[in-house]
């Protein structure tokens, strides 16, 4: 149970990586909301950094949801009862509700990266708050109900195949340093060992500690300096 997590259904599938990604989504949303409220509108340098960082967040979230829509939900849909299928249909519908909010937030960040526009900042605050509410509800619903279906109908071999076929191919090897640092950032220390072992092992930890962690954290501090 990571901070903000709604549930951790028991079962045969190791869902550590899923929970780490959800934790990072929640953390980023809180940081973006605080940055939108606190960053001075004329500070072009910081708004450009926020726009670039937002693009990373949006890309990871989009690929995560695409993997669920094309791989996970159809696999479960073929196995679930009527109640379970209703849950999976709700998951897809919630993704559809989130997409326009992501698009509107992107437009807001892009505008503020190039123009000192107070109205655009006010509009972006409304949109980022709305996105936070929708995505937070969705993640909690998924953790409580959809991941219960994962534990009921799948085994760990099914999950590993989904990872290989639908989630990992979405990212190139060049994405690994950012993704590893992004996932590990601000994890509670008591969970670090389990997360390391579940996601990539000690080799990744060495790379993260020696090469990836500090550059990532420096960029985060600069980008979210007003948070």
Q: Where are the domains of the chain?
A: 16-223
Task: Answer yes or no: is pLDDT of 94 > 70.
Answer: yes
- Opening angle at CA 65, ends 76 and 96, nearest 5: 95
pLDDT one-digit tens code per residue, 57-90? 999 999 999 999 999 999 999 999 999 999 999 9
pLDDT one-digit tens code per residue, 35-62? 999 999 999 999 999 999 999 999 999 9
Average pLDDT across the chain, whole number? 95
pLDDT at 56: 98
pLDDT at 57: 98
197: left (phi over 0), alpha (psi -120 to 50) or beta: alpha
Task: Give percent of the chain above pLDDT 70.
Answer: 99
Strand intervals (E) in 107-204: none
Q: Tell me the C-alpha distance between 119 and 130, whole Å.
A: 17
pLDDT one-digit tens code per residue, 172-222? 999 999 999 999 999 998 988 888 777 766 777 888 888 999 999 999 999
Rounded to a whole number, what is the largest CA-CA distance in the chain?
54
pLDDT at 4: 96
Q: Tell me the C-alpha distance between 132 and 162, whole Å.
A: 27
What pTM did the predictor assign? Answer: 0.96
pLDDT band at 91 (very low <50, low <70, confident <90, very high): very high
Average the pLDDT over each of 17-21, 112-116, 207-211 and give the range with the smallest value. Answer: 207-211
Rounded average pLDDT over 103-114: 98
pLDDT at 192: 83
DSSP codes joined into one string, 147-169: HHHHHHH--HHHHHHHIIIIIGG
pLDDT one-digit tens code per residue, 23-34? 999 999 999 999
Q: Tell me the C-alpha distance between 68 and 166, whole Å.
A: 8
Task: Answer yes or no: is pLDDT of 115 > 70.
Answer: yes
């Amino acid at each position: 149970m990571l901070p903000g997590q709604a549930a951790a259904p028991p079962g045969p599938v190791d869902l550590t990586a899923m929970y780490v990604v959800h934790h990072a989504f929640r953390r980023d949303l809180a940081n973006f909301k605080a940055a939108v409220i606190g960053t001075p509108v004329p500070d072009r340098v910081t708004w450009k950094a926020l726009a670039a960082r937002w693009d990373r967040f949006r890309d990871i979230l989009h690929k995560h949801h695409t993997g669920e829509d094309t791989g996970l939900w159809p696999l479960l849909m073929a196995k679930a009862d009527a109640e379970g299928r209703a849950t999976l249909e709700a998951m897809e519908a919630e993704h559809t509700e989130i997409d326009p909010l992501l698009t509107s937030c992107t437009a807001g960040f892009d505008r503020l990266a190039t123009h000192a526009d107070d109205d655009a900042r006010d509009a972006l605050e409304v949109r980022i708050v709305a996105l936070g509410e929708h995505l937070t509800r969705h993640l909690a619903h998924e953790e409580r109900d959809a991941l219960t279906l994962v534990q009921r109908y799948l085994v760990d071999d099914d999950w590993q195949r989904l990872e290989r076929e639908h989630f990992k191919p979405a990212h190139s090897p060049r994405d690994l340093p950012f993704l590893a640092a992004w996932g590990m950032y601000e994890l509670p220390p008591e969970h670090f060992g389990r997360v390391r072992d579940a996601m990539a092992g000690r080799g990744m930890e060495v790379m993260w500690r020696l090469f990836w962690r500090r550059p990532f954290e420096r960029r985060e501090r600069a980008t979210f300096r007003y948070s």
